[in-house]
Chains A and B, each alone.
Chain A
Amino acid sequence: MSARKQSVNGTTTSLDVRGDSNARRGGALSGAVARRTAVLSRVWWLVLVCIGANGCGREPIVPFGEVIVEIHTDVEVPKLVSRLRVDFFDERGAWYLSRDISAPSPAQWPLSFSVVSNNLAEGGRTFLRLRAYPAGGERAYLGERFWERPPYTPPRVPLSLTELCQQAQTIVPPETVWVRRGQSQALATAILPEGDCDPGDAAWRPLDALNGVHVDIAEAGAYRFEILDTYPAMGHGTRSDNVLFLRSACDDASTQLACNDDLGITAPRVPDGELTASQRPRLFVEHLAPGRYTLFIGSRAADPVADLRLRVAPADAWEEAPPPETDPWAPPRWIDEGSDDTPVTEPEPALTIDRLLEVVVDPGVIRRQVVALRGACVGTMARLSRESAPERLVPDAAESCIDSESERLPVIGAPAGDPPPGIGSFGSAPCPAGAARDDVVCVPGGAFVLGDRTADADDAASLSSPERVARLQRFWLDRREVTVARYRSYLQAVTGTDEEPPDAWKPRNNPTPIHGDNTGSQCSWDQTEAHDREGFPLSCIPWQGARAFCKRAAGDLPTEAQWEYAATAAGVRVETPYPWQETSPPSCERAIVFGRMKPLAQHREYFGEVWLHVSDECGGYGPLDVDDERGADDVTSLGLKGMGGNLSEWVRDAGYPYGGGGVVEGLDRCWGAQPLDEPACLDDNPPLRSVRGGSWAFGAYWLAGALRGFRVPDGSQRFATYIGFRCAYTEPPPEPEAGE
């Protein structure tokens, strides 16, 4: 038995800690040992007799009050949880102890420790904050503030002037909002700028895309209207000629007060990110009387759908108020005898199960308190008080998640014990038993970390972070990317019916062979079947066409979360960056189809310096048959093929950043609002769609499953020779007929 001293909040108490009991040793006792045991047992009998003789008539021993806290979890260890942070707060909410425990093995759970009061008369009370999180899921200590997930509604583009005038959002200057400019032929012909913005010559044409906002002016004066940013940024292949004009009556063109088509010509592409001040379309109005006005934002552009960050403010109060220089909030700190022992890191809230617990130690009572850290609570931050920025825990106001996302219960009065859950049971939805199919793969439901903070390529890193935990239902996914042959069957089946896709949604025809010398088209679709590319994955298809295909097959495009889960986490114990369960990029010796495109001058001209991932490091050219031996290593543990290379794939989500890496303010609204279950940024008509996975054209790095790329969904720019797709299904799709 060993003695240890612990110092707690100024009180140094000597206490005994039970040592390791290694008495359980197997094997038969030898004669010597047996004799020794006999002697010892006599001695101990003697001792017991002595104690009995002396103890008669004495008061019974009163033990210290003790609560053995037993911590269970229902998430997978170590995939989602491998560490536990325990913070102790005293009765007044002051932080007095913290410890971070590594528990990466499921066998280590449940974790338990003792809370003891040496006050024999009254016992004691303390509060615990338990945070379970994955290894590496930490950030520098901020003493996170309480944060409520904001709601998000995808922006909508009106289809008529009447709809616009009735439903346009209203802004009150000074205010900055996001507005989506979208395509509507009816709207474009109904709303035309007049005056200076109507040169009246042959080169003039109506606006391709439009939207408007109502502006309520309370004080007369000069006002400024300016587009601060566009999404996608102009470097993303867009060329925008923005036009701003203001009317005092929404539906009356004769009330136009001002107009600015100042750029007049296509704005220059900017390399990336925000517009510079000189590139921002703006409108000044010298005098506006109080009242309601409508600002129209139009564009003549090749790909007109875009999100615009618009600011309206009095001209003499244009700048937004700067944030305060010093943040007055002091986060909670662990001060021990004047020394600041606050840990320098804290668990990342989005990856953490955060639970507050009241522990009451009654004098003379030893009991066990079971607490369950449930996966449903990942990302639901505990609230230490009703203030948004508490310096300490306020026991009467503190609340935390027990078992439902975004729901918190007060820490005082919460049930004293939870039923212990089974480890790994959170989100578990196994596939039904049955014969495996060659065309689709069942992906069992589960939870995983979506995103990858360690991705380190320039813009890709910021798109893949911050990480979050996602829980997905079971689904089925095509084992291979959709092939030319499969699409040909589909097209034959729907041609002439209501389901036939418009020509703009069909893949680009390439009647020529795919040469190995970088010349000619690389699209795989060939209407004539002349080039034996029936087993090739279908490329050069707009997002709408891909989705229409999947819908007809009783499925849909997979969401980003489904796609990433299938590529990195489904069916494995630990997530790996690459679909074939490896953590390093592959070499060209692996049978994976990548690094086969010679970068051409036009790539740089077209995409700018950002287009760095085109690579010919492995030689060869173009995509390969989905079952080609040269791609045989590109297979997940569940048997999904081509998730890394051959073609990148359209997914269902709109292409918006998660929020990492200095994203323009407001662009992460969609992902910021997503829940734990089935997160997906779904939007009917976004400017960009997300693309997942590497391709024959990309370098090794881009084969990682968490990396994201965005692309204009239709073929208005160019058909992407590197993008194909596969379909996901909530129920197993019908078996394909023979020959299909």
Chain B
Amino acid sequence: MTGSSASMMCGITGWVRGVRIASRHVTGIVVLAACVMTGTARAEDEGDAPDESGDAPNEKPGGADEDAPVDPKRERARALFGEGSGFVGKSQWAEALGAFEQSAALRPHAVTRYNIGVCLRATGRYVAARQAFDQALQDHEADDRGRLPHSLLEEIEAFSKEIDGILVHLDVTLSPANAAIAVDGRPLEVVQAGRSGERLPVALAGTRPPGPGRRAPAAHFTLILNPGAHVVTLSRKGYEDAVVNDTFAPGTHSELGLKIARLPATLVVEANESDAVVTVAGRDVGYAPVRLSRPGGRYPITVEKDGFTTFETTASLDPGQEWRVSADLAHESPALWQRWWFWTTLASSMASVVVTTWYVTRPAPQHSPDGGGLDWVVIVPEPTVLAW
């Protein structure tokens, strides 16, 4: 057993003994416990938590309420509190925690919250323990959920200081900012900005029930988590998942950059004819079939072959998706204007005019490239001017 857990045990067992023997020297804890147990009208009405100089403890739980109507919820809370105390005595922290949490759910009280904090601390869940102590202080200040004796306030201060020295603080930077993050399979609990000493948004790990990751509070935030081994997962639709498996020593302050890369989409264009030229977004990408990798987005696609109707479509690619299209190229059927007599008539009436006009106004002299057997012409690019 470590030193800190041993001292914690002492604190708890003293408190438990107080409940059992109802000694005045164990004081406010006992009275408070009694208040929790009995739910006296005084504690409720006056909101006056007894301290060490307060009233005598009630040796008979529930005795002060003998005349008042019995509240079954309160009775159950009290019984659970006592059960939890019993577990504490046997160092069964997990069972004690369960009992205290059930008790607090039925009847919230600062002392119960304090006890929860102590149990969480004993089981190494420092983030949750720190939160429970904060909650106990808030309950204490709210007046309507019991008050804590001075000694417990000091204990809380000491525990909090100790836990702050143990917790791991990571300055997390996410890219992209709106990815879902989870630690050990649990989403983060986002704490409002303004926590003492922190300027960045703060999120806690390990306090939420298991579930899928949720969006982080900001692209740059502080993550507080228990020391030890953790698995941080970052995911977003259309991106590759990132999984970071790391072990953090107690009191670590460090930075953690998490970046996930976009998944490219795959575009497959096939055709029922060989040697059909495929253009994607206006660029010649070769003969079908082609297989390309592109970022998500919309791409106009054409598949052309001489003597066949041109196939045109638009691909809408989601990241990571394989988009497949098969172009069905059909033989062009000759239109009216493709009949021989149409052109003969037109040619004989217009030829001299057209040719003369063309010759006079023709552009720079050119010839038709041969294209070879493949009927393929490649233009040599102009030398690029280097800009440096």
Q: Please give the residue numbers on chain A whose beta carbons come within 8 Å of chain B beta carbons, in ascending order.
A: 1-2, 4, 6-11, 13, 15-20, 36, 39-40, 43-44, 46-47, 50-51, 54-55, 61-64, 66, 68-70, 88, 90-92, 96-102, 108, 110-120, 123-126, 336-337, 339-341, 343-344, 359, 361, 366
Q: For the complex, is B284 an interface residue (Cβ under 8 Å from A)?
A: yes
CB of A119 within 8 A of CB of B382, answer: yes
From known contacts A47-B355, A63-B366, infer whether A116 and B292 are also in contact, taking CB-CB under 8 Å.
no
- B299: nearest chain-A partner, CB-CB: A339
Find residues 354-388 in chain B having any chain A CB closer than 8 Å to their own CB.
Answer: 355-356, 359-360, 364-384
Query: Nearest Cβ distance between residue A493 and chain B, in whole angstroms?
Result: 61
Chain A nearest CB: distance from B301 CB in Å?
14
Residue of B nearest to A84 (CB): B374
Q: Are the C-beta atoms of B292 and A66 separated by less than 8 Å?
A: no
The answer to whether B368 touches A125, judged by C-beta atoms less than 8 angstroms apart, is no
Contact partner, B379, options A99, A101, A102, A118, Cβ 8 Å: A118
> Which of B96-104, B200-208, B340-348 makes up part of the contact surface?
B340-348
Contact A88 B378 (CB under 8 A): yes
Q: List, in ascending order, chain B residues with CB within 8 A of A44's CB.
A: 351
Find out whether the CB atom of B344 lies under 8 angstroms from the CB atom of A6: no
A47 → chain B, closest Cβ, in Å? 5
Given A51-B359, A341-B285, verify A68-B382 contact (CB < 8 Å).
no
Give per-residue flags for B276-317: 1 if the beta carbon is below 8 A from chain A beta carbons, else 0. 010001111111000111100000000010110000000000
Whether B372 and A112, one on each chain, are in contact in the complex, defined by CB atoms closer than 8 angstroms, is: yes
Nearest-neighbour CB distance to chain B for A256, whole angstroms, equals 48
**Residues from chain B with Cβ under 8 Å of A18 in the complex:** 368-371, 375
Interchain CB contact (< 8 A) of A114 among B283, B304, B376: B376
Complex Cα gap A88–B379 (Å)? 10
Partner of B348, one of A43, A88, A343: A43
What is the minimal beta-carbon distance from A57 to any residue of chain B, in angstroms?
12
In whole angstroms, what is the CA distance A175 to B258 when docked? Answer: 40
A-side contacts of B281, CB under 8 Å: 339
**Are A17 and B373 in touch, CB under 8 angstroms?**
no
User: Does B247 have its Cβ within 8 Å of any Cβ on chain A?
Assistant: no
A68 pairs with B370, CB closer than 8 A: yes
Docked-complex contact A50 and B356, CB < 8 angstroms: yes
Flag whether B352 is at the interface (Cβ < 8 A): yes
A366 to chain B: closest CB distance in Å?
7
Closest B residue by C-beta to A8: B379
Contact A20 B307, beta carbon cutoff 8 Å: yes
- Of B286, B360, B369, the residue contacting A15 (CB under 8 A) is B369
Chain B positions within 8 Å of A40 at CB level: 344, 347-348
A11-B381 in contact (CB<8A): yes
Residues of B within 8 A of A43 (CB): 347-348, 351
Q: Does B274 contact A (CB under 8 A)?
A: yes
Closest-CB distance, A170 to chain B (whole angstroms)? 45
Indicate if the CB atoms of A15 and B287 lie closer than 8 Å. no
Q: Which of A2, A91, A115 contacts B383 (CB 8 A)?
A: A91
Residue of B nearest to A61 (CB): B365
A125 x B283 contact (CB < 8 A):
no
CA distance A91 to B291 in the complex (A): 28
Option from A46, A92, A111 in Cβ contact (under 8 Å) with B374: A111
A66:B370 contact, CB within 8 angstroms: yes
Cα separation A66 to B378 with both chains bound (whole Å): 10
Q: Which residue of B lies closest to A98 (CB)?
A: B286
Across the interface, name the chain A residue whose C-beta is closest to B294: A339
**Which one, A1, A6, A55, contacts B359 given CB within 8 A?**
A55
Inter-chain contacts of A1 with B (CB < 8 A): 368
Which residue from chain B places its CB closest to the CB of A70 in the assembled complex?
Answer: B372
Q: Which residue of chain B has its CB nearest to the CB of A16?
A: B368
Of the candidates B283, B366, B372, the one having the most CB atoms from chain A within 10 angstroms of its own CB is B372
A223 to B366, CA, bound (A): 78
Q: Measured between alpha carbons, how far is A20 from B374 in the docked complex, in Å?
A: 11
Query: How many A-B residue pairs lie within 8 Å, measured between CB atoms?
Result: 166
* A112–B371 CA distance with the chains assembled, in angstroms: 8
Contacts of B352 in A (CB 8 A): 46-47, 50
Q: Select which of A61, A88, A102, A336 is within 8 A of B367 by beta carbon.
A: A61
Q: Which of B355, B380, B382 has the most CB of A within 10 A?
A: B380
B contact residues vs A (CB 8 Å cutoff): 274, 277, 281-287, 291-294, 304, 306-307, 340, 344, 347-348, 351-352, 355-356, 359-360, 364-384
Give which listed residue, A4, A47, A100, A124, contacts B351 with CB less than 8 A: A47
A208 to chain B, nearest CB (A): 50
In the bound complex, CA of A576 to CA of B221 (Å): 64
B274, B282, B293, B381: the one contacting A344 at CB < 8 Å is: B293
What chain B residues lie within 8 Å of A70 (beta carbons)?
372
Q: Which of B355, B372, B380 contacts A361 (CB 8 A)?
A: B380
Would you call A124 and B369 a contact (CB within 8 A)? no
CA distance A9 to B347 in the complex (A): 39
| In the complex, residue of chain A having the shortest beta-carbon distance to the beta carbon of B386 | A92
Give CA–CA (A4, B279) in the complex, Å.
11
In the complex where A47-B351, A112-B374 touch, is A11 in contact with B292 (Cβ < 8 A)? no
CA distance A124 to B380 in the complex (A): 6
Q: Which of B284, B294, B351 contacts A7 (CB 8 A)?
A: B284
Name the B residues within 8 Å of A339 (CB-CB): 281, 283, 294
- A101 to B290 CA separation, bound complex (whole angstroms): 12
Q: Please, could you name 26 A-B residue pairs with CB atoms under 8 Å apart, sorted by A? A: A8-B378, A15-B377, A17-B368, A17-B377, A20-B307, A40-B347, A40-B348, A44-B351, A46-B351, A47-B355, A54-B360, A55-B359, A62-B365, A90-B381, A90-B383, A98-B286, A99-B286, A99-B287, A100-B286, A100-B287, A108-B373, A111-B372, A112-B374, A114-B378, A116-B369, A116-B377
> In the complex the two chains form, what is the Cα distance from A11 to B304 in whole Å?
21
Taking the closest CB of chain A, its distance from the CB of B167, in whole angstroms, is: 32
User: Are A125 and B380 within 8 A (Cβ)?
Assistant: yes
B344 partner, pick from A39, A62, A115, A119, beta carbons under 8 A:
A39
Which residues of the partner chain A approach B277 to less than 8 Å between Cβ atoms? Answer: 4
Q: Which chain A positions have C-beta within 8 A of B382?
A: 11, 119, 124
Interfacial chain A residues near B359, Cβ < 8 Å: 50-51, 54-55
Contacts of A2 in B (CB 8 A): 306
The complex places the Cα of A280 from the Cα of B44 at a distance, in Å, of: 77
Contact partner of B340 (CB less than 8 A), chosen from A17, A36, A51, A337, is: A36
Of B352, B356, B369, which is in contact with the most chain A CB atoms at under 10 Å from its CB? B369
Across-interface contacts of A340 in B (CB, < 8 A): 293
Task: Say yes or no: B376 contacts A120, CB within 8 Å.
Answer: no
B364 / chain A contacts, CB cutoff of 8 Å: 120
In contact, A114 and B380 (Cβ under 8 angstroms): no
With both beta carbons as reference points, the residue of chain B lying nearest to A108 in the complex is identified as B373
Known: A11-B382, A113-B374. 16 other contacts (CB 8 A): A9-B381, A11-B381, A17-B375, A50-B356, A61-B366, A90-B380, A90-B383, A99-B376, A100-B286, A102-B287, A114-B377, A115-B378, A116-B379, A339-B294, A340-B293, A341-B292
Set of chain A residues within 8 Å of B351, measured between Cβ atoms: 43-44, 46-47
Q: Tell me the bound Cα distance from A1 to B360 in angstroms.
A: 22
A68 to B283, CA, bound (A): 23
Collect the chain B residues with CB atoms within 8 Å of residue A119's CB: 380, 382
Q: For the complex, what is the distance from the CA of A110 to the CA of B365, rounded to whole Å?
A: 31
- B282, B347, B369, B373: the one contacting A111 at CB < 8 Å is B373
Tell me, in angstroms, the Cα distance from A556 to B163 when the chains sit together. 83
Most buried by B among A47, A96, A114: A114
